[in-house]
Structure 1
Amino acid sequence: MPRPTDLRIHGLADLRPRRILCCQLRQIGDVLLLTPSIHMLKARFPEADIDVLTEKKCAPVLENNPEVAHVWALDRKLGLLDSLKFYRRVGTGGGRGRYDLIVDFQQLPRIRWVLALSDCPVKLSYPPPWYNRPFYTHWAPVSGPYAAKCKAGVVMHAFGLEWRNDPPRLHLTDAEKTSAAALLHHCGIRPEHTLVTVDATHRRASRLWPAAHYARLMALAADIRPDLVFLLLFGPGEEDLVAEVRRLALASGLEPARLVLPERLLSLREMAAVQALAHLHLGNCSSPRHFAVAVGTPTLTVRGSTSNAWTFPGPGHEDVSLGLPCQPCDESACRLDFKCLTGLRPEAVLPRLLAMLGKQ
């Protein structure tokens, strides 16, 4: 049970909001993990319009979502005056009527500006530190351990909702699916192939399995499964890293035709559409794993500093780690030279990869 100091939800039982604003600025994966909370709110208040405040780079995650009425996409390049005007416009509902409920899932300074400039009667979040309490009228604890359930805990406790283990949601159009199929065909991937998307990148060294390990794993798996084809995913500024993964994989004996590196950077939604056509997603603990879950593709995640709270608790989604006593530490620096990652050999991950592929 929540502690009394973690719970302040008086008066919410009779709330019937017509307009709701959910605030989650970043990161991309976290915005995707917000969608189960949006789904729960829409189920509880079916007549309400639900808007979302997020950063511009995250907005594509919410495109075509029938449960989202409007997305406020924050441009972080705006100057102070223009930013304040934007916060005011968001807080007052943008001319479409006042919000009856604002749920802050992140408690960042930019969100607090929106709250301060809004006359919304109910401003809900998780228990804030004492110096932030004036920004909120209500708060409720998070839940766990799964990260999406952790976010949803606020609305679960506030409105008496039940967690039903809903996966994140990303709504692809038929055109996006058709385009992804054409892209794979252009890359030489055929129906007889077993496609594995691979995310070998991360901005944090504590979550980055070595490029040489990915290269070796793919070569080992391809020797056993001649139907396997791997497609390397990458984001802005990660071109050199995936090129190195490809070089090492080819040096390890992987045939060039069985390792696809897209000719250009795929958009978030293009990446998701490609993942929807894959048999499995393999990668680090980063946003592509959540996209794979959202489009129904099984995932195998290599864990370093992070816990398994980011792994969707359902069949077809697993993670593998070395299991050192210091794991998970959730740190960016390491006095052991990231042994949790370097010491996890490809030969140890191979059986897990093959077992998951055998289930497909």
Structure 2
Amino acid sequence: MSNFSTLKPKKVLFIATRQIGDVLVTTPLISKARELWPNAQFHFLGYKGKLDMLKGNPDIAEIIETSDRPGFSEYLSLFNKLFQRYDLAFVTQPSDRAYIYGLVAAFHRVGVLGGHPQGKLANKSHQQNAWKKLISMHNVDVDYFSQHVITEKLRLLEVFFRNPAELFSKPIDVTPPIGQALTPIIASQLTQPYVVIHPGPLTAYKRWPLAHWQYLIADLVRRGYQVVLSASPAKQDLQLNHDILSLLTPEICEKVIDTAGKLSIPQAGSLLRGAALYIGVDTSITHLAAACNTPTITLFGATPPTNFGPWPNGFIGKQPYQLRARSQTVGNITILQGPGECVPCRKAGCLDRADGNSECLDLLEPAQVIEAIEKLLISK
């Protein structure tokens, strides 16, 4: 660990150049940094279209957007805007580009380091990380199996604490974006109680089979719940919801609202806050549901819940979850995993391909989800 630093930055830049879920999981770090430096000005750099999770965040004074593949002129403009403007940069992603932004922007940096700690790739990772260590006051290594991503981000502050254990001695919360009113058409269709279902992950290997969703939705409707299907505007997500709806009987369909592509992230937050329950796969909206304190059931396959399970708000400590458990509940979050000694493998499914499938999710039966629903609803 690096030596304790007494740095009192006046301007701080947080860098998260990835997906919307990666932006949301930086919010506990931002909140804790605000406790340390109550008068500092905080800015945030991320990709265009990925920063809605910060909408209305009280700690962020300015949001700076960049393309995920900027051209030369955009790079030049961004570098001019950032150059030596900050006292400290938090590089929350291990990419080379994120570190270069941090180097350009700030006099001091702390950052996350990726790589392979063992095996043939370890030496290559060491070489790739050498310059990043050289330009950083403090680094935290990624551990995809043992270290939760919230813990990873919070540990970037270790160097500013005489006793780093203090970071995890109080309740830790993820801050969702402020809510935004639903469109009148969707709001008028809602009846209480309703369950939000988000079946579409970013990649196919995190999907649960269509027939399983069909069975689960029919069961929820029979229990007296309205079902609200959620999805991003992405073509594959719209199609997935369409395919699920096509399997339902007309009677069941009457109790299902499809909001696919119709909600902004702040609107999705409003929808989730009013839900009796949320059920989804390993995706950013699942993290948003947890951040909104909605009772959440999430279906995990290849991804280790110890690394990227939705954080249970108010949890004290570094690790809420076990690596492998068919069912585990912490606070109002339940994580379900399918069978298999290989679970979780952290590969892109069984074929290690983004467009493949995961047998562990195929074998995670609706009955297991229904059992978790009954337990959650009884405990409410």
Cα distance in 1 for residues equivalent to 2:139 and 2:253:
53
Cα distance in 2 for residues equivalent to 1:20 and 1:31:
16
Give the AA of the match of 2:373.
Answer: L
Q: 1:1-360, aligned counterparts within 5 Å?
A: 7=1, 9-10=2-3, 12-76=4-68, 78-93=70-85, 99-118=86-105, 120-127=106-113, 129-135=126-132, 136-141=135-140, 145-159=147-161, 160=164, 161-163=166-168, 164-173=170-179, 176=180, 179-180=181-182, 182-187=184-189, 189-190=190-191, 193-223=192-222, 225-226=223-224, 228-235=225-232, 236-237=234-235, 238-248=237-247, 250-251=248-249, 255-262=252-259, 264-309=261-306, 310-312=309-311, 313=320, 314-335=330-351, 338-360=358-380
1:77: Cα distance to partner?
5.3
Larger displacement relative to structure 2 (267-276 or 26-35): 267-276
Cα distance in 1 for residues equivalent to 2:138 and 2:217:
47
1:254: Cα distance to partner?
5.4
Identity of aligned residues (%): 21
The TM-score, its normalising length taken from structure 1, stands at: 0.86
1:229: Cα distance to partner?
0.9
Give the AA of the match of 1:107.
Answer: P
Q: CA RMSD in A?
A: 2.3
1:127: Cα distance to partner?
4.6
1:213: Cα distance to partner?
0.6
Give the 3-state SS of the residue equivalent to 1:278 in structure 2: coil
Give the 3-state SS of the residue equivalent to 2:182 in structure 1: helix
Rate the CA distance shift 1:263–1:112 in 2: closer, same or farther, 3 A: closer
Give the 3-state SS of the residue equivalent to 2:49 in structure 1: helix
Q: Deviations over 1:195-235 (max 9, x none)?
A: 11111111323211112111111112332x12x01111111
Cα distance in 1 for residues equivalent to 2:14 and 2:186:
36
Please tell me whether the aligned partners of residues 146 and 311 of structure 1 are also in contact (alpha carbons under 8 angstroms).
Answer: no
Instruction: Mark the runs of 5 or more structure 1 residues left unpaired by the alignment.
Output: 1-6, 94-98
Larger displacement relative to structure 2 (51-60 or 138-147): 138-147
Cα distance in 2 for residues equivalent to 1:271 and 1:290:
12
Larger displacement relative to structure 2 (67-76 or 282-291): 67-76
Instruction: Mark the runs of 5 or more structure 2 residues left unpaired by the alignment.
Output: 115-125, 312-319, 321-329
Q: Deviations over 1:159-179 (max 9, x none)?
A: 334123422102415xx2xx2
Rate the CA distance shift 1:264–1:55 in 2: closer, same or farther, 3 A: closer
The TM-score, its normalising length taken from structure 2, stands at: 0.81
Please tell me whether the aligned partners of residues 230 and 260 of structure 2 are also in contact (alpha carbons under 8 angstroms).
Answer: no
Please tell me whether the aligned partners of residues 141 and 157 of structure 1 are also in contact (alpha carbons under 8 angstroms).
Answer: no
1:52: Cα distance to partner?
1.0
